[in-house]
Amino acid sequence: MPPNPAESSPSSAAAKPGHTESIKETLISIVIAFALAFVFRGFVVEAFVIPTGSMAPTLMGAHMRFTSPSTGYSWPVGPWEQIGENEYAPIQGGGRPGGSGGPDSITVHDPMSGDLIDKRGVPLRSGDRILVLKYLYSIFNPQRFDVIVFKNPTNPSINYIKRLIGLPGEEVALIDGDVFTRNLAGGAAAATTNSNSWLEPGWTIARKTPLQQEVAWMPIFDSAYTPLESTTFNRPWNTADTAAWRFDGRVYAFDAAAVKNPGGRSELFFDQTRQRFKPMNYFGVERGEKWTIDDRYPYDETPFGDRGRWAPETFQHEPRYPVSDVRMRAGIEPTADGLTIEATLRARGHEFQAVIEGTTVRLRMRTMTGEMGIFGPWKDVSTNAIAPLRPGHVANIEFWHADQSLQLWIDGAVVARHDYDWSPAERVLNSTGKMLEDVLANPQGDRVSALSPPALYRDRRPDVRWAFGGSGGKGGARLYRVGLDRDLYYQPAIKRRNMAALGPGLGTSPNAALKLNPDQFFACGDNSPQSLDGRLWDSIDPWVAHEFDDTIGVVPRELLLGRAFFVYWPSLIKGGKGIPVPDFGRMRFIW
C-alpha cells in the first residue's frame, strides 16, 4: 500500500512560502483607491459645508446653539456679526440691555417661553456638512422643492444651496408666501412686461408632499416646553371660560360641566395680544414681542431684535408677515364618551374647520360676507367615518392648512382632506381684502412691489382656536403637547442697489413676471427674510451670461451641481478641542 502523501511529505502550506506584497503593489493599491475616491467624489457624491443661514432651520450655516434651562428647548441662532449672505453688520459683542453686556455676552430669547437667555463665551458652530448627489439631474429631471446645489449665477466661483421653486417652461408667482405656477405655451419664455399675467388662466398652486410638508413645519409654540418655573412666562393659549379650564403646567384640562353656556362648549384660542417677552431698549429703540403668528425666525435674532431684511430708506428692519398656513396639534385624551372637538382657523376672509363628533369627521369652510366679521353658512367639503375617540386613550390630532389644502390627521394618518383652488387674483383678494388691479394701481407700483408691504396683510391676521364640548354638558378632556406650527413663507421682496429701490423682487409681482425657458430654474432659501436668492439678484456674471444665459434671477441648467440628500456631520464647534464627534441625533435626510 503506497504511503499517505499527507503523512510522508510536508504540507503544501509549509512547502510553499506565503505571498508577501511588494512596495510596488502597495503603491498601486493606494493609487487605485485614491482614483476611485476622486471618481466617486467627482461624479457620484460630494460633500459640501453650509456657509450661511439662508436655508435655516432646514440646514444650518455657522451658528450658535442654545438650550433653555427652564423649558429644555434647544434651538440655533445665527452668528451676530453676519446679517445675511454677503451682508455684515459692525457688531462686536456688546450684549443687550438686561444682559451682562461685554464683548462675550450673548443674549437671546427662548422661542417657547420668551425668557431671556444671557450667556458668555457661546461657541460658534460650523455649518452642517451635507452629501450631494452630483449629476443626478443628467439622468432625472429636478423636482419642485428639491434642495439643490448650484453655481451662483452672479459669481460662479461660489456654490449656493436653495430650494427649487420654479421649473423650466412655466411662470412662477410668489403670493402671500405660497408658490403658484402656470405652464407657458410650448415652454417658450415670454419677455417680461408690465402686463398683468396673474389674471390669465391656467394657474395652480404648488403643493408639497406630506413628507416635505412635515419637515417644513416651524414651531411657534408647544406646551410640552412650558417652563416649570418662570416669573415672566405668559401662556399664549387663552380662554374666556376660566372656570372650565385648568392649566396645570404642561397639561390643559377641560371640564364640560363647568361651562356656563347650555351646550357645554368652550373655546381655547391662541391669544396674539399676549406678550411673549417684555419690551427692552435696543440701542434707543424699544422692542417687545407678542405671540404673533408670523414668519419669525428664532435663528435670525440679533442685538437689534429679530433679524429681517434691512430697509435702508427707513433705517430699520422690515416688519414680519402674518402666516396663515399653519398646523394646529394636540394629544387629546377624553375623560368620558361623547367628546366633540373643533379645530378652527380664520384666515383670508374665510373660516376653515375640522370637526370630530362620534364616528364622523368633517372638514368645512365658510366665507366672510361683510366687513364686520359676519360669516355665511358652513359648507361641508369632506366627510369620513372613524373609530370614536376612547376615554383614557390619547389621540394625536393635527389640523393642517397649507398650500390651499385642508387636512385632518389622527395618530399619524390622514382621515380627511380637501384641496381648494384659488387663482392668484382670488388669493390676493382674500389675503388683503383688495382687488389685484387696485393693489397694482399703487402710485409706486412701477418702482416697488405693491404687494410687499406687510400692512396689506396685517388687517387679516389668522385666528386659531380649539373648541370642545361634552355630551349633555358632561365629561371633558386632557390636552398634551398643544402646539402651533407655521409653514415656509416666501416673502415678497424689493430689489435694491446701493440703498435705492429698483423694483419688486422677481416673481413677487406681475410687474416683475418670472417666466422660465426650457433650461432655466428658480430657487429660494427657506429662511426667506435672510436669503439672497433669485428674487433679489440684480446682476449676472459676464462669463455666465456669455456662455449660458444672460437672464437675471434664474439658474441655467448648466450650473446645477446636484441634489442635497443627507446631513452626515452636523455643525461642529469651531476651534473645539479634542476629537471631533458628530452629533448623531441631528444626522438626517434632506427633504
Q: For residue 51, what is its C-alpha cell?
A: 456657509
- Cα of 486 vs its chain's centroid, Å: 7
User: What's the CA gap between 506 and 488, in Å, rounded?
Assistant: 18
What is the three-class DSSP state of 504? strand
- CA nearest 265: which of 465, 480, 479? 465
CA–CA dist 546, 82 (Å, integer): 33
Please tell me the predicted confidence (pLDDT) of residue 80: 79
User: What DSSP string runs through 383-434?
Assistant: EEE-PPPPTT--EEEEEEEETTEEEEEETTEEEEEEE----HHHHHHHHHSS
Domain 237-270+324-486: state its class.
Answer: mainly beta
Which residues sit opposite 574 in a β-bridge? none
pTM for this model (two decimals): 0.87
What distance in Å separates the CA atoms of residue 47 and residue 132, rounded to the nearest whole number? 6
CA angle 291, 296, 297 (to 5 degrees): 125
**Digitized pLDDT (tens) for each residue of the chain, 591 residues in all:** 444 444 444 444 444 455 555 676 566 666 655 555 555 555 568 888 998 999 999 999 989 999 999 999 999 999 876 444 434 333 333 344 334 444 467 888 999 999 988 888 888 888 899 999 987 788 889 999 999 999 999 999 999 999 999 999 999 999 999 999 999 975 444 444 447 899 999 999 999 999 999 999 999 999 999 998 877 899 999 999 999 999 998 999 999 999 987 677 999 999 999 999 877 655 545 567 899 999 999 999 877 666 555 555 554 566 789 999 999 999 999 999 999 999 999 999 999 999 999 999 999 999 988 766 788 999 999 999 999 999 999 999 999 999 999 999 999 999 999 999 999 999 999 999 999 998 888 755 445 677 888 888 887 899 999 999 987 778 899 999 999 999 999 999 888 777 677 788 999 999 899 999 999 999 999 999 989 999 999 999 999 999 999 999 999 999 999 999 999 888 776 655 666 666 778 889 999
Q: What is the pLDDT of residue 94?
A: 36
pLDDT for 443 equals 55
Write down the pLDDT at residue 105: 77
Distance, in Å, from the CA atom of 444 to the CA atom of 463, rounded to the nearest integer, reads: 31
Per-residue burial over 171-192, b = 16 or more CB atoms within 10 Å of its CB, e = otherwise: bbbbbbbbbbbbebeeeebeeb
Best CA proximity match to 463, nearest among 294, 289, 271: 271
What are 246's three cell numbers?
Answer: 385648568
Question: Residue 565: enclosing H or E segment and its boundaries?
Answer: strand 560-569
Nine-digit cell string for 126? 460650523
Q: What is the pLDDT of residue 316?
A: 56
Residue type, 539: S
- Helix, strand, or coil (residue 17): coil
